[in-house]
Structure 1
């Protein structure tokens, strides 16, 4: 993981509105430049009823209505990684509002891995071309006048990116709230040691930086929370608080991951999300099908 010097402008405070999908415990965000109408959407959700084989866009419609009501201009639709627990609504939002869909450049690694698992043919491009922007570590971009920085933080997946936007960082599944710990690292291409190193990179950010989660599973039934700070994570994270060594973390993470079942929506999610939220090509009868590989994961 190449690491570029991190240049931050914490004087810029992004305006952030969260949207919670109860079924998948996922947070999506609208991030706005307070000095313009420019905004971005991070980690949108498309709902799926797997029993009926039906998709819906209730959550995306809420985000679209929010943006339209405030006459915002959508510049970016960002995926922090290829999610295994929910489907992305990025193409639907783009169709309604415009904007560029972006993900980490290591999406090509994920596409190669899961292209084989799902036995995709040569018509499935494995070069990331389904996305408008592939972020490399250290890439800078703008949301209006807001300075944004993409950091490669792999370990949960090879393509995980954290996005620093003004005084806030969107960390995907790399970290959970302090009482939730950290993401699993046992998916194909995951690596617990790499995850620890990525998290340490985040914990070297300024203590006051706000960290926004992709999920909160509300341990012990506590109230829902969607953001924390670097200082709180270093002080209280049950897996990687200050003083936990890399070897201790790797031992814990690998033992814990060995007890976990696969996410409920992993098979439909990966097939859709590795295509930037697009569905597979329709079959000869005009119907779209999702595959269920047997005894592979």
Structure 2
């Protein structure tokens, strides 16, 4: 059985969210959903997530899973909002605990903030099998961009998060806390060992001039033409290229608000004494 994929592109954050299902009236999973956030005003909106709600409702889909490929640093997760509207379980890779421990210290989070992943409904292990209705799925742990990155292989289709971009864009950065370029290379080779015809969906697209945003490719195309990690590129060459390139990149505009929420499964920090929830900016820390 083949997986049917509907994708939604958020231009503000260049994020692609996906709904994977077997057809109208079936069970579905939502992957990497966006909660819109205006950094200037500190206000959230649900425009992007409401597109997913409308699609699920129109196609009579039943949400079983709301999946995160990792703790995103470029957008706030809409997982709690979608769970409230549509049901489903929020799942992430089990090494989210490492990310929580790292960022609890960076943000000096409240003492009660648990670093055991308990904010999520399910923590996936490497190789774990699960289902999306009648669709068979498997988890692949692909660290390097972050320690907790996973890919979700659903039948003939793999959702790789930030690990790989389209071939003309390359690969994820590795300079966030817990990132490792060598580890990313080895993770990517695991993905590229999948059958060549495997469809691959990415979580972001930053298209070169003249190309419209896109998000689907194949394993064979990545092996043939990915500008950072095509066949023939050694681990040493990739690490040199990736670390050199990372030194030239600015931090994502929404990194600080995003991680504070996403390490909590998309929830804001608890309200303070005045009833307001605040997001912190650690000065001279990152």
| Range of TM-score over shorter length | over 0.9
Q: Which of these residues, 134, 153, 161, is aligned with residue 164 of structure 1? A: 153
Paired with 2:17 and 2:238, the residues of 1 have a C-alpha distance of 28
Q: Render the CA deviation track for 1:257-281: whole Å, top value 9, x for unaligned.
A: 1111111100000000000000100
Q: Which of these residues, 189, 202, 210, is aligned with residue 191 of structure 2? A: 202
Give 1:121 shift. Answer: 2.1
Give 1:204 shift. Answer: 0.3
Give 1:223 shift. Answer: 1.9
SS in 2 for 1:29: strand
- Aligned partner of 2:265 in structure 1 is 276
Give 1:35 shift. Answer: 8.2
- Aligned partner of 2:48 in structure 1 is 59
Alignment of 1:248-259 (within 5 A): 248-259=237-248
Paired with 2:4 and 2:211, the residues of 1 have a C-alpha distance of 26
Moved over 3 A (4+): none
Q: Which of these residues, 123, 132, 135, is aligned with residue 121 of structure 2? A: 132
Alignment of 1:98-177 (within 5 A): 98-177=87-166
Alignment of 1:204-219 (within 5 A): 204-219=193-208
- Aligned partner of 1:3 in structure 2 is none
Determine if contact 1:169/1:210 at 8 Å carries over to the other structure.
yes
Determine if contact 1:35/1:145 at 8 Å carries over to the other structure.
no
1:74 is the counterpart of 2:43: no
Q: Which residues of structure 1 form unaligned runs of 5+? A: 1-11
SS in 2 for 1:220: coil
1:243 is the counterpart of 2:244: no
SS in 1 for 2:253: coil
Determine if contact 1:156/1:185 at 8 Å carries over to the other structure.
yes
Paired with 2:4 and 2:108, the residues of 1 have a C-alpha distance of 42
Paired with 1:78 and 1:153, the residues of 2 have a C-alpha distance of 15
- C-alpha RMSD of the superposition: 0.9
Give 1:36 shift. Answer: 5.5
SS in 1 for 2:256: helix
Paired with 2:210 and 2:102, the residues of 1 have a C-alpha distance of 36
Q: Which residues of structure 2 form unaligned runs of 5+? A: none
Determine if contact 2:24/2:59 at 8 Å carries over to the other structure.
no
Q: Which of these residues, 192, 208, 228, is aligned with residue 217 of structure 2? A: 228
- Aligned partner of 1:5 in structure 2 is none
- Aligned partner of 1:85 in structure 2 is 74
Paired with 1:34 and 1:92, the residues of 2 have a C-alpha distance of 23
State the TM-score, normalizing by the size of structure 2.
0.99
Q: Render the CA deviation track for 1:196-252: whole Å, top value 9, x for unaligned.
A: 000000000000000001001011231221110000000000000110000000011
Give 1:65 shift. Answer: 1.1
SS in 2 for 1:169: strand
